[in-house]
Structure 1
Amino acid sequence: MAKSILITGGARSGKSALAERLVQDIGPDPLYIATAQAFDGEMEDRIGLHQDRRGPEWGLIEAPLDLTGALAQAGTRPCLVDCLTLWLTNLMLAERDWREEADRLAALIGTLPGPVVFVTNEVGLGIVPETPLGRAFRDAAGTLNQQVAGRCDEVFLCVAGQPLKVKPHGS
């Protein structure tokens, strides 16, 4: 079984930069599995910033919905999945069964031949969302994060660019 890591934290906490460093430290030929979709100019700019920071040595698979399929394609390459909360958003907006997809992902984590680092957002620390969809998303994200964290070897919480290991390897 290959090593799996989950990195969580708030918006602009340094999660993605930390994940990129970890994946590059694991080995050559890193693969970025992108779940974001550029529906507007702001999102295009965010995606562009991530691409510029990574550089051309990274491979890319775009997987807004089929994350398990993308991971299966990766083989033994070190992978970065950025991010689970955008993947969850895509699933919910497409009216897919996110629980079934989360179960499939969790089951796959222990069988992957290559190392993987997942990035996700910690969305449950703020105010209670005003809308039913917002509350459903917050709850779904918490459930998904718990499932993935339970399967990963290590978990980090990123705060102000500083990683805090909350699940050491072997726990």
Structure 2
Amino acid sequence: MSRHLVLVTGPSRSGKSEWAEKLAAQVGDPVIYVATSQLDPTDLDWQARVQRHRDRRPKHWITQAVPLHLAAAIHTAPAAHCLLVDSVGTWLANYLDQPEEDWEKTTQTLLISLQSTSNTVILVAEETGWGVVPAYPLGRTFRDRLGHLTRQIGAIADTVYLVTAGYALDLSQLGIPLQQR
């Protein structure tokens, strides 16, 4: 099977990770679950969330912890594997201190790796821009960077899903793509 790029986006607790897992299981290739979070041993709530995701996944899936070098992980993944990246927002948060010019290079490297891989890649991305504009600069940086990156990935994706309230909508079939700015 040739490359197929899928973006699954939606608000928190919407079912987007579960939908992405279902899609990955249907591909038919071995699955590499690319976990982008960094575990903080003092954050018990986060550890519990991560454990719930682990418990839900099939035991035969390979898990790779990739908090930073996502483009490299995609580029070096073995052929004929499906990569499920969960999540773009968590990966981005690991780079929030990166200056804008460096961030642009990081995102371009990621986009190039997504376009050049022969593997199927399913990315889970959070929708954070549906609420108020954050009152603090770091929150605005996160929201703006994630919105821009999600739009860039959506522009090159073969399929884009919006998952909300437990329902998945195929935006690539229902939506009208906007031109990139």
Report the TM range for the smaller structure's normalisation: over 0.9
Structure 1 distance, partners of 2:155, 2:113, is 13
After TM superposition, list the pairs within 5 Å mapping 1:65-76 onto structure 2. Answer: 65-75=68-78, 76=80
RMSD, aligned CA? 1.5
Residue of structure 1 in register with 2:7 after alignment = 6
Structure 1: which 4+ aligned runs deviate by more than 3 Å?
A: 93-96
Aligned pair count reads: 169
Query: Helix, strand or coil for the counterpart of 1:44?
Result: helix
Structure 1 distance, partners of 2:46, 2:97, is 17
Residue of structure 2 in register with 1:46 after alignment = 49
Structure 1 distance, partners of 2:56, 2:15, is 12
After TM superposition, list the pairs within 5 Å mapping 1:45-64 onto structure 2. Answer: 45-64=48-67
After TM superposition, list the pairs within 5 Å mapping 1:65-104 onto structure 2. Answer: 65-75=68-78, 76-93=80-97, 97-104=102-109
Structure 1 residue 104: Cα displacement: 0.9
Residue of structure 2 in register with 1:34 after alignment = 35
Residue of structure 2 in register with 1:122 after alignment = 127
CA contact (8 A) 1:123 1:138 kept: yes
TM-score normalised per structure 1: 0.93
Residue of structure 1 in register with 2:110 after alignment = 105
CA contact (8 A) 1:88 1:98 kept: no
Structure 1 residue 100: Cα displacement: 1.3
Identity %: 36
Structure 2 distance, partners of 1:71, 1:23, is 15
Query: Helix, strand or coil for the counterpart of 1:8?
Result: strand
CA contact (8 A) 1:16 1:119 kept: yes
CA contact (8 A) 1:7 1:19 kept: yes
Structure 1 residue 73: Cα displacement: 2.5
Deviations 1:37-62 (A, max 9, x none): 12211111111000000031110111
TM-score normalised per structure 2: 0.88
CA contact (8 A) 1:102 1:147 kept: no
Q: Which moved more, 1:112-121 or 1:94-103?
A: 94-103
CA contact (8 A) 2:74 2:114 kept: no
Stretches of structure 1 that go unaligned for 5 or more consecutive residues are none
Stretches of structure 2 that go unaligned for 5 or more consecutive residues are none
